[in-house]
Structure 1
Amino acid sequence: MLQQWLSNCSYLLVAAFSIQFLLSTHASNQISVDEDLKHLIGRCESQSAGAEFDECMRQVFNDLRAYFPTGVEHYNIKPFDPHYSPFVEARRGDSNGLGGFKLILRNVSEYGWSRSEVTKFHSEPEEQRIVYAQYFPEKSLEGYYEFAAKMLGKEMRRKGFWNLTLYDYSQTTSVRRVGEPGSLLKVHVEVDRIGGMELHIGDLLKGQPLNQLADGVINSMWQLGLPFLKPIINELVSTAFTDIFNESFRYFPLEKFLSKS
């Protein structure tokens, strides 16, 4: 009986020490994250304005790339490499009318953020807005699509898997808060440059040979269609980023980490 009691006690002690170790590890990790954010963001003085503050924040954005694959769980910041969007929709007119369409993207994952670089940063405190330019040597996206349109009097419906890789790519992102701290964020993204592109759209045409032909035509002639595609890309990315930024950054306490001196 004594031996069994000692054995049970030993298990309890091991469990207690394990729990204590996990709690202390979590606490120390949280402190280290806060200290790291304070070290990185605290270099920028909130009272300063203009080019000095903007250049400081540009460097901070690039230094924070180490957190892109992991996010910051305590502040509800989701991973950004890849980052994930469950649903994005774009519409033009009536999908049953001439020239109208509906495009839905589901379960979209986007890769390449850890290798990106913020090249310009501009803050507008009075407008509660920041604008930054970002360069990606390579960015890739994948997910599922649903497309509906009416062309030449015939209804067209397609769905399937798609993937897209962009090379030598740059974009400008504008983030504006529409009210008091904690209010919604509005994000607008503009494509600045696409140096190269590879796109695959599954089941776009019936039959594997025709799909391969469609991929070949799209990837050899995408530059001609870019003036038409660019507004749609801007709309899709802006919609997705508005959701992502509100989920991850709407309540982030930036002032907590900025230097007040």
Structure 2
Amino acid sequence: MSLQCPSNCVRYLVYLMVIFLFAQHLANASSQIDVDEDLRHLLGRCQSVGEDYNECMRQVFNDLRAYFTTGVPDYNIKPFDPHHCTYVELRRGDSQGIGSFRLTLRNVSEFGWSRSEVTKFHADPEDRRIVYAQYFPEKSLEGEYEFAAKMLGSEMKRKGHWNLTLYDYSQTTSVRRIGDPGSLIKVHVEVDRIGGMELHIENLLKGQPLNQLADGVINSMWQLGLPFIKPMINELVSSAFTDIFNESFRHFPLEKFLPHTSASY
């Protein structure tokens, strides 16, 4: 037996749908207004460049952690916790040369930004640069890797999953706009301190026992190798963050939220 809804019932359902869609539109508009007002309050409270300005902006960066897990979709700012990088590559030497290698990381996810703290901030308006130091009690990363190398005439190729956890970690980030607002952003990240590290690389050596041995050696002796691999870490992270910052902040209308429009970072 089928149920039939009379015409007034159909109209009632249509009214409910219209009301629902209108309410949803109002909710989205209200959310946008709240975000704009919040950003205007946070970014607009620092008035002038100087020591007070730098300390004010340090506090602003920490207050903005509330958006790390959500991003700001209406301004194309993606979440930073976790944030994702699709592709980053590191090359050394000629593809045919001895000792050359290529490391490719794909689909990298990074966690821990919501618990981080900006400890120092410095603005250099003449050079259109900001520099800030950031502390992470714990930061973790994971993704897929491909490694190809040529050593002493033999080729080595590996690929698989990897994950890395850093403890008591700090870094300094320099963000510089190359030209006028809307132009490219260049990011350089420098590792300052790593208090502890756990790293697992799948398929680094052939066979599970050898892989476990490799993990043990790396995690017990990483401090000895850090001075040699630190420049490569800085390069990989800087390359990834240059892409991420350009995607999220290159066209962000900063002047909309500032009391003065002279800022050109």
TM range (shorter): over 0.9
Q: Which residue of 2 aligns with 1:204?
A: 204
Letter in 2 for 1:16: V
Deviation, 1:52, is 1.0
Q: Which residue of 1 aligns with 2:189?
A: 189
Counting aligned pairs with the same residue, the percent is: 74
Match of 2:13 among 11, 14, 18: 11
CA displacement 1:196-243 (0-9 Å, x = unmatched) = 110000000000000000000000010111111101100100000000
Secondary structure, counterpart of 2:54 in structure 1? helix
CA contact (8 A) 2:99 2:152 kept: no
Counterpart-to-counterpart distance in 1, 2:244 and 2:49: 28
Counterpart-to-counterpart distance in 1, 2:189 and 2:82: 18
Q: Which residue of 2 aligns with 1:167?
A: 167
TM-score by length of 2: 0.95
CA displacement 1:50-79 (0-9 Å, x = unmatched) = 111111110000000010000001111000
CA displacement 1:176-208 (0-9 Å, x = unmatched) = 001111111000101111111100000000000
Counterpart-to-counterpart distance in 1, 2:100 and 2:195: 29
Counterpart-to-counterpart distance in 2, 1:49 and 1:110: 32
Task: Spell out structure 1 runs of 4+ moving beyond 3 A.
Answer: none
Q: Which residue of 1 aligns with 2:42?
A: 40
Letter in 1 for 2:19: F
Secondary structure, counterpart of 2:205 in structure 1? coil
Deviation, 1:94, is 2.1
Q: Which residue of 2 aligns with 1:230?
A: 230
Counterpart-to-counterpart distance in 2, 1:37 and 1:116: 20
Secondary structure, counterpart of 2:6 in structure 1? helix
User: What does residue range 72-111 of structure 1 map to in structure 2 within 5 Å?
Assistant: 72-111=72-111
CA contact (8 A) 1:96 1:149 kept: no
Counterpart-to-counterpart distance in 1, 2:227 and 2:115: 27
Q: Which residue of 2 aligns with 1:146?
A: 146
More deviation, 106-115/146-155: 146-155
Provide the aligned length of Structure 1 versus Structure 2.
258
Deviation, 1:127, is 0.8
TM-score by length of 1: 0.96
Deviation, 1:97, is 1.9
Q: CA RMSD in A?
A: 1.3
Counterpart-to-counterpart distance in 2, 1:198 and 1:185: 32
Counterpart-to-counterpart distance in 1, 2:251 and 2:234: 25
Deviation, 1:260, is 3.4
Deviation, 1:258, is 2.1
